[in-house]
Structure 1
Amino acid sequence: MNPVKTGGKDELRTEAVQKAVMACCLCQYRCRILLCICTPCILLGCLFIYITLAVCLSINSSTTPVGMPRNPPLPPFFIASGLNKSGILAPFPIKSFWKYDLSKEAHWNLIQYVMDRQHSPILHPGTNASQNISDLDRYSRSTQQSSGCFPNYEMIWTVSDYFSLPAQIQRFVISMHCRDYPLLIDQPRVCSKHQSEAPMLLLAIKSQSSNFENRQAIRKTWGRSGWVKGRVGKGGHVRRVFLLGTNHSGHNPGIKKNLREESNRYGDLLMWDFLDTFFNLTLKDVLFWDWFSKNCWDTRFVLKGDDDVFVRTPALLDYLNNMEAVRSNTSGQSKTMEDFVVGDVIASAVPSRLQSSKYFIPDSFYKGMYPLYAGGGGVVYSGALVLRLLQVSKRVHLFPIDDVYLGMCLQRLGVVPIHHPAFLTFDFPEGEAKEHCANHTVLLVHKRSPKEIQKLWVETLRPSRKCRNTVLRDELLEKKKKEQEQNL
């Protein structure tokens, strides 16, 4: 009996061992299955994280400009199309858009680029912008002398071919940093004398001390000061100033005495103590803008022109009154004329590289095309725009050609000059001047002698019956264009 009992126990033990072995094998099988399933998922997850980190690092490295710290803080007001779509930060650009290498640029382009950087709200968004000024910026500041208007001879070495350039370019390069010249002859009450309201039009005429006959012709004709009736409209108050510098003969006591007597008699001379040359005409602009802001700031319009132009002042007053009426009806009263400038607009102009030309600008001084600008023989802009021009001119280095400089300032203000065919700063097209009523179609025409100015004034002030109803050139050209289209 005992063997039988012992055999039963052995069978039970054997069965328990087998069950345990089977359970262990089943557990190992299940673990292997789970390991086979989870391992690829874990590897794919790690790969995804690695790729994501690599992409983010590559984006950050590509958007960081050379020489700048990585991950610079973005100013909240900077808006640009780019990668970031967060509602907290503004979008940032995909790649850098600000140039850093200017070693091959011309002198004016280089120093203007530096000035643009100093006033960039993107590069210097805070009040501590000076902390980020580079060596190039410090170089620019060293070229600007603050103690008086003296030649800066260090600038000789900044233009590669300085010693082979014409004398007028050389003089300009060593003095272009300065625009603070004393006023020798002033007319502080020219816009307020003998009138109860602000002038409608101030005539600011560039002249030279020796051009007395030109000034006299203007005083007797289209530049008369006082109330001027329009050709068909009401007209307006007109005031007049002549903008002068000094010249080599200006140091002659006799010349100075004559100018003082002329100023006392007519009260219309503004004279600054700088050399009156063609390349310094830009100084007349910026100095006049400053004088205007202090003495004639409420004048509605300014005509800036040469002393050899003829202007149909009554017709110009009609045109300006009409422009004010049109703009007030379309854009409201608050900012109707702050961007108004009209003249003979020149587009796609390039610097003259011909040394024999008085407009010659060397490649080492300036590269690129000129902005849109109105011919300097005669241009009209609003008094409100003058105040804006004065402010923006402090951020634009002087340029040798005054009308191009005006275009540079307008470009930075976002103001587009209006082209009007009745402003002829390059005279009539060939053959048109011979037409009987040609002079009655213009608002301004350039290059007229004092005798021609007086003759034209008499002719246009009392037009003949045939020319009495003549329209301006813009309407006339439009009419001819329609007639040609009908004939075709």
Structure 2
Amino acid sequence: MPTMKLGYLKVCVWLACVAIASVILYTVVMLSRRPLSLQTSRTAVFTGGHLRLWQPMDLHGIPLWDLLMLYMTQLDNPILKNATAQFNLTLPGTCGENFHAASQGLKNISSYPSHFQAFVLSMHFRDYSLLVGPADDEACPDGTQLLVAVKSQLVNFDRRQAIRETWGQKGLVRGVTVQTLFLLGKQGPGDGYPDLQALLQLERQKKRDLLLWDFQDTFYNRSLKDILFLRWLQGHCPSVEFVFLGDDDVFLRVDALVAYTGSLDAATQRGLFTGHVFQDTAPVHDSQHKYYVPESFYQGTYPPYVGGGGVLCSRAVATQLYKASCHLPLFPFNNIYLGICLRELGLVPQNHPGFRTFSAEAEGQEDLCAYKELILMDHRTPQDIIRLWRGLHDPALAC
């Protein structure tokens, strides 16, 4: 009997040691997930190789995005969660939770341009309702394998119509069922746009391919649009295996896209995230530039990301991206934000030479045979799209 008690005691001690070790390991791992730019900061959490677990951190000088990232990382940690008071922020702990903005006292925000201020003060709110959306059987008919999601704006009706009449046609492509949907936010007279409600209702009834959310559709809200779509995808289109997420000013060769996915082995298909990859790029700190980012908001280089108008990924990666986004502050540029989410997952985007941006050429001067080697061409007008479609499908074209 004493032997049994001793054995029981040893098991209890062993379990307690395992539990303590697990908690310590979890703490260290979660702390190590701080932003890369913070790792080289003068106020780094790691000092002289020693991890300061319980001491308050010196938050002075940390860029705002990194500060938010560090805050959200601590919220994920059950041990350090109560230490977030030092940040003086009011942010949520769960993805989709209703929350509006960081405290009005966020440092340096008054020095940001008005459009950047608007982004910062709304970047934490993600729980926008879907105002317009097709029924499930219309969004993705049974057997849909490739979902083409095109980010558009209400005013860009001509772009959507050009895509519908050309490469965005639905149905079978090389034996694969393809569906095209357009992703929209709100625009109206209050934003300096004409009143398009009547046109929207007509398009909604006739086309049944719109997803419209209750947020203001601005340049800096494109990351939000991506995340809302990825969230919507979690509960829809169960048969979809691949997702193309791109812009409404591209020419996409869907047949080439399908052929490419069909040439991959199962493991590569599952981990697919590909397009035109940019590496070793850094924020633009010129306030007059379209892609301006204040130094007090983000510093350091960007992770590898896919640009050029569109990205192709597997359903599995799309699911992981959404889960990663729940623990990452939004970033104003969607391609870079998806790159940040990939980095969080330990994934790297794969470059595909078929995703390219061409210089605009004079009408009728394009080398159509060269286009047959590509999958995506960026920066195309509706007229370009129609002309390319007709040219590439001309029986007289000899390549």
Fold conserved between structures, TM > 0.5? yes
Q: Answer yes or no: is 1:242 the counterpart of 2:182.
A: yes
From 193, 198, 205, give the equivalent of 1:264. 205
Q: 1:379 is paired with a residue of what secondary structure?
A: strand
Structure showing the higher helix proportion among its residues = 1
Kindly provide the CA deviation profile for residues 235-272 of structure 1, in whole angstroms up to 9, marking residues without a partner as x: 41110111111123279995222212201111101111
From 59, 72, 83, give the equivalent of 1:115. 72
Q: Answer yes or no: is 1:427 the counterpart of 2:358.
A: yes
1:91 corresponds in structure 2 to: none
CA distance, structure 1, for counterparts of residue 51 and residue 360 of structure 2 = 44
Aligned in 2, Cα 1:369/1:455: closer, same or farther, shift over 3 Å?
A: same
Q: 2:245 is paired with a residue of what secondary structure?
A: strand
From 117, 138, 153, give the equivalent of 1:208. 153
Alignment of 1:267-286 (within 5 A): 267-286=208-227
From 226, 240, 255, give the equivalent of 1:299. 240
Q: Answer yes or no: is 1:290 the counterpart of 2:240.
A: no
Q: 1:184 is paired with a residue of what secondary structure?
A: strand
Q: 1:75 is paired with a residue of what secondary structure?
A: helix
1:218 corresponds in structure 2 to: 163
Contact between 1:149 and 1:181, CA under 8 Å: does it hold in 2? no
CA distance, structure 2, for counterparts of residue 445 and residue 402 of structure 1 = 19
Q: Which runs of 4+ in 1 moved over 4 A?
A: 144-151, 190-193, 250-254, 428-431, 433-436
Kindly provide the CA deviation profile for residues 57-102 of structure 1, in whole angstroms up to 9, marking residues without a partner as x: xxxxxxxxxxxxxxx954378399xxxxxxxxxxxxx942469433
- 1:149 deviates by 6.2
Kindly provide the CA deviation profile for residues 357-412 of structure 1, in whole angstroms up to 9, marking residues without a partner as x: 12110001111111110006111111121111111110011110000000010111
Q: 1:203 is paired with a residue of what secondary structure?
A: strand
Query: Where in structure 1 are there 5+ consecutive unaligned residues?
Result: 1-71, 81-93, 229-233, 468-488
2:41 corresponds in structure 1 to: none
Kindly provide the CA deviation profile for residues 11-44 of structure 1, in whole angstroms up to 9, marking residues without a partner as x: xxxxxxxxxxxxxxxxxxxxxxxxxxxxxxxxxx
1:64 corresponds in structure 2 to: none
1:478 corresponds in structure 2 to: none
The residue identity in structure 2 corresponding to 1:170 is: Q
Q: 1:78 is paired with a residue of what secondary structure?
A: helix
Q: How many residues align?
A: 354
- After the TM superposition, which of the residue ranges 445-454 and 98-107 deviates more from structure 2? 98-107
From 148, 158, 163, give the equivalent of 2:106. 158
Contact between 1:244 and 1:270, CA under 8 Å: does it hold in 2? yes
Contact between 1:106 and 1:365, CA under 8 Å: does it hold in 2? yes
Aligned in 2, Cα 1:373/1:271: closer, same or farther, shift over 3 Å?
A: same
Q: Alignment RMSD, CA only?
A: 3.0
Aligned in 2, Cα 1:429/1:250: closer, same or farther, shift over 3 Å?
A: closer
CA distance, structure 1, for counterparts of residue 311 and residue 175 of structure 2 = 19
Alignment of 1:395-414 (within 5 A): 395-414=327-346
CA distance, structure 2, for counterparts of residue 312 and residue 357 of structure 1 = 32
- 1:215 deviates by 0.4
CA distance, structure 2, for counterparts of residue 283 and residue 293 of structure 1 = 16
2:322 corresponds in structure 1 to: 390
Point out which structure has higher relative CO (alpha carbons under 8 A, 6+ apart).
2
Q: 2:313 is paired with a residue of what secondary structure?
A: strand
The residue identity in structure 1 corresponding to 2:59 is: L
CA distance, structure 1, for counterparts of residue 139 and residue 335 of structure 2 = 29
Give the percent of matched residue pairs that are identical in Structure 1 and Structure 2. 36
Contact between 1:309 and 1:446, CA under 8 Å: does it hold in 2? yes
CA distance, structure 2, for counterparts of residue 131 and residue 303 of structure 1 = 37
CA distance, structure 1, for counterparts of residue 353 and residue 133 of structure 2 = 35
